[in-house]
């Protein structure tokens, strides 16, 4: 058995990106080529030939690819070996060179978006249109950047802002992290003696425990610590919110959340519709919590019970079995999915198992079109690891579908970036679920699916609803306690009468790093997930015919406006009806769960 596990263990091979021994050579090459940028800058002229323009863009892309190789190799190396000092050193050098390169080529990007640039004639709209059209693959991205110019300030002002961010908001975020890392949590399970817990992730692993006293103790230990430091967290958060709001106004955005929406290539209206439809469907999850209480033999769930498992025993699945299952599922859905996923395995671009020096979690890194993506996993023989594998390979498949694009337009923009990954998970879920004979396992699978959907959809949605309220209130003036009350009221709205919420949860808002570090970021999760559910619902209804449309979406990568891509397949992300389709799927799961008893 042990032998088999070792054989299954995959380590990724980074040679295709860059061999460690070639780092210096490439570094020098980039330095040298950076010297050519000035020559290209001199050629910038609104009346220039399309051919010259393509030459400049090709030069930029080639140089971009070189710096990407230089940065990615040590970055990925460090992900699987966090103690690797050599990797850290190389990464630092690559990043520094990257910053220098970005600074040098900023003149080009500034000129492209139509800013006044010393010594150059400004690029007018008409010529911009003509030149951009000569590279259809980059046309959308270049035009979008030009639209962004209206939110850009003068160069001097931008310089001040970037310094202010580096030494202001960014340092506050670092300070918050320092405060957090210094925490030592006092875990007290029942009347036993206090156990010191050093990390939040160790503590949070207990919220899925089958034992109530462990879940309760974990939440108490965590929230107590945050409450003790509430003034610090409030101070940091207020400063960031005020700064964000000030800058949004200065740049001319309609509202604080519009800053994020624009960056995500999503219209404000679509986000508003999403937030509302999600909120209006909260009852589905409330019904789930009521059902769960019954199953667990409780009158009503308390907040610390919501992630309690229905079954104490779980099914184990090793890496080899997981791989087989995922590839088989893809093959069944669409052979091309399986073919592309296999390529990632064959290219040795997968790092499969946890190790003491490897970072946790999982991701898929799209380096550039000519290299198949890299997938990091931490397979621990749990059922959820199989879904993670399907999810990350889904991202990889998406990248490979879009590998005919240039580097700048391979990667899908936010609204569509989770399409293949969520699809992968959904088809896997359906397959495992339909083959499973044991009713207890079926029930526990569905229950977990509901709990996961709650966490990635409704919970994230309410983070953003809270943020909208908080950003408004902080501008007007509010105390830490009032802000915490505000959080509690969003919890009450979210759970209705389905879950009893202890007062200590008031302080939960400061536990969530995204709320502070990247305002309004969290709707990315429910947006991506629900969009994919809705597409999946269409696939279920229209069958194989819809697959061609999915492929079209995937192949577009980031080369077109996401709204346009979706319209082409008959989807309007501003329509309530479209989003409602996703909730019909979740409703079905809940119905099925109740039928299982």
CB of 418 to Zn ion, least distance (A): 5
Distance CA 87, CA 14 (A): 12
Q: How many CB atoms lie within 10 A of CB 420?
A: 30
End-to-end C-alpha distance for the chain, whole angstroms:
37
CB of 208 to Zn ion, least distance (A): 20
- Kindly tell me which residue out of 421, 444, 447, 453 binds Zn ion, with binding defined by CB under 5 A: 421
Nearer to Zn ion, 281 or 421 (CB): 421
Distance CA 233, CA 236 (A): 5
Contact segment (CB under 5 A) with Zn ion among 93-101, 336-344, 405-413, 418-426 equals: 418-426
| H-state helical runs in 509-561 | 513-517, 523-542, 544-556
CB of 329 to Zn ion, least distance (A): 17
CB of 473 to Zn ion, least distance (A): 32
CB of 394 to Zn ion, least distance (A): 8
Residue 532 touching Zn ion (CB under 5 A): no
CA torsion, ordered 169, 172, 176, 182, to nearest 10 deg? 150
Full DSSP string of 344-395: HHHTT-EE-S--TTS-SS-EEE--BTTB--EEE----SBHHHHHHHHHHHHH
Nearer to Zn ion, 421 or 559 (CB): 421
Best CA proximity match to 531, nearest among 496, 569, 503, 490: 569
Nearer to Zn ion, 329 or 421 (CB): 421
Number of residues counted as binding Zn ion (CB under 5 A): 1
Contact segment (CB under 5 A) with Zn ion among 158-166, 271-279, 329-337, 421-429 equals: 421-429
Q: How many residues does this entry show for the chain? A: 597
Nearer to Zn ion, 78 or 418 (CB): 418
Give CA 549 to chain center in angstroms: 24
Nearer to Zn ion, 234 or 429 (CB): 429
CB of 391 to Zn ion, least distance (A): 6
Contact segment (CB under 5 A) with Zn ion among 54-62, 82-90, 281-289, 419-427 equals: 419-427
Contact segment (CB under 5 A) with Zn ion among 74-82, 367-375, 414-422, 579-587 equals: 414-422
Nearer to Zn ion, 79 or 421 (CB): 421
CB of 528 to Zn ion, least distance (A): 7
Contact segment (CB under 5 A) with Zn ion among 124-132, 280-288, 420-428, 581-589 equals: 420-428
Distance CA 184, CA 195 (A): 10
Q: Are 519 and 271 in contact (CB under 8 A)?
A: no
Contact segment (CB under 5 A) with Zn ion among 19-27, 91-99, 416-424, 429-437 equals: 416-424
CB of 177 to Zn ion, least distance (A): 24
**Residue in the shown chain whose Cβ atom is closest to Zn ion:** 421
Nearer to Zn ion, 286 or 421 (CB): 421
Q: Where is 160: in which H helix or E strand?
A: helix 155-167
Distance CA 544, CA 542 (A): 7
Nearer to Zn ion, 421 or 582 (CB): 421
Residue 95 corresponds to which tokens in the numbers above? 């990043």
Q: Are 290 and 594 in contact (CB under 8 A)?
A: no
Angle at 406 between CA 401 and CA 10, to 5 degrees: 50
CB of 237 to Zn ion, least distance (A): 27
Bridging pattern class, strands 185-187 and 195-197: antiparallel
Q: Which residues bind Zn ion (CB under 5 A)?
A: 421
């Amino acid at each position: 058995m042990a032998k088999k596990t070792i054989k299954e263990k995959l380590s990724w091979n980074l040679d295709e990106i860059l061999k460690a021994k070639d780092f210096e050579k490439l570094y020098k090459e980039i330095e040298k080529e950076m010297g050519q940028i000035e020559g290209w800058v001199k050629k910038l002229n609104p009346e220039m030939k399309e051919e010259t323009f393509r030459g400049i863009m090709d030069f930029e892309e080639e140089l971009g690819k070189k710096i990407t190789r230089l940065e990615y190799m040590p970055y990925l190396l460090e992900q699987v070996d966090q103690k690797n000092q050599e990797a850290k050193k190389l990464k630092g050098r690559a990043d520094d060179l990257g910053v220098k390169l970005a600074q040098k080529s900023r003149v080009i990007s500034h000129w492209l978006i139509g800013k006044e640039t010393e010594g150059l004639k400004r690029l007018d709209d008409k010529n911009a249109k003509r030149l951009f059209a000569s590279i259809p693959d980059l046309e959308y991205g270049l035009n979008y950047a030009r639209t962004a110019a209206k939110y850009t300030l003068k160069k001097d002002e931008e310089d001040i802002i970037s310094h202010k961010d580096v030494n202001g908001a960014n340092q506050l975020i670092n300070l918050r992290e320092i405060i957090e890392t210094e925490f030592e949590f006092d875990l007290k399970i029942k009347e036993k003696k206090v156990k010191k817990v050093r990390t939040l992730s160790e503590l949070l692993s207990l919220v899925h425990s089958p034992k109530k006293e462990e879940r309760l103790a974990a939440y108490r230990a965590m929230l107590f610590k945050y409450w003790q430091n509430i003034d610090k967290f409030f101070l940091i958060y207020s400063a960031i919110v005020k700064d964000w709001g000030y800058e949004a106004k200065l740049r001319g955005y309609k509202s604080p959340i519009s800053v994020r929406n624009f960056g995500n290539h999503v219209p404000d209206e679509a986000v508003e519709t999403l937030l509302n439809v999600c909120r209006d469907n909260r009852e589905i999850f409330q019904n789930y919590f009521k059902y769960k209480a019954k199953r667990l033999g409780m009158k009503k769930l308390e907040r610390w019970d919501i992630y309690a498992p229905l079954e104490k025993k779980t099914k184990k699945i090793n890496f080899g079995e997981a791989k087989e299952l995922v590839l088989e599922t893809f093959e069944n859905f669409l052979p091309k999915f399986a073919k592309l996923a296999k390529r990632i395995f064959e290219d040795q671009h997968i790092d499969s198992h946890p190790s003491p020096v490897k970072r946790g979690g999982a991701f898929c890194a799209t380096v550039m079109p000519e290299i198949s993506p890299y997938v990091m996993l931490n397979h621990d023989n749990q059922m959820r690891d199989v879904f993670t594998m399907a999810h990350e390979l889904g991202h990889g498949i998406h990248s490979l579908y879009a590998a005919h694009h240039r580097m700048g337009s391979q990667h899908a923009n936010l609204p569509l970036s989770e399409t293949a990954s969520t699809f992968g998970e959904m088809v896997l879920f359906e397959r495992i679920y339909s083959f499973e004979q044991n009713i207890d396992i079926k029930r526990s699978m569905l229950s977990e699916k509901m709990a996961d959907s709650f966490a990635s959809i409704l919970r994230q949605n309410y983070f953003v609803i809270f943020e909208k309220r908080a950003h408004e209130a902080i501008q007007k003036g509010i105390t830490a306690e009032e802000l915490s009350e505000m959080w509690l009221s969003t919890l009450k709205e979210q759970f209705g009468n389905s879950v009893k919420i202890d007062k200590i949860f008031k302080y939960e808002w400061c536990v969530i790093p995204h709320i502070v570090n990247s305002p309004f970021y969290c709707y990315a999760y429910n947006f991506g997930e629900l969009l994919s559910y809705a597409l999946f619902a269409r696939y279920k209804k229209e069958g194989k015919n819809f697959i061609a449309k999915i492929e079209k979406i995937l192949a577009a990568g980031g080369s077109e406006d996401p709204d346009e891509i979706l319209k082409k397949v008959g989807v309007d992300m501003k329509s309530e009806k479209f989003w409602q389709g996703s909730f019909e799927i979740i409703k079905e799961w809940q119905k099925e769960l109740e039928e299982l008893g």
